[in-house]
Amino acid sequence: MELINTRVPWEIVMKDLKRLIKHYKSQGVEQFGIFGFCLGGRISTDASIHLSDSIKAGVLIHPSMVTTEDADLVKFPLFIIPAKDDFDFVSK
């Protein structure tokens, strides 16, 4: 799995997220959503790219390290809530 930014140990985060999904699937949960604030927005975006078989929707609140180029890779709906001075994700 190739993740977008290597400055953060994404492999560890994604490994933990996969274990969490596996645990809840064993409890009968079939679909998941995800939300992330700031750096969690990057993690949620990566989850939308690599874990779309289980996670079906997400929310990014004041996301960091997310670009409009990521949109081509995203595989489920993401609701983006930027803060006042955040990057404008809507192309003109």
d(CA 42, CA 60): 8
pLDDT digits 0-9 by tens, 15-68: 999 999 999 999 999 999 999 999 899 899 999 999 999 999 999 999 988 888
Task: Report the distance separating Cα 39 and Cα 46, nearest Å.
Answer: 11
- pTM of the entire structure? 0.80
pLDDT in tens, 77-88: 999 999 888 877
Tokens of 78: 């993401």
* Cα distance between residue 26 and residue 4, in whole Å: 29
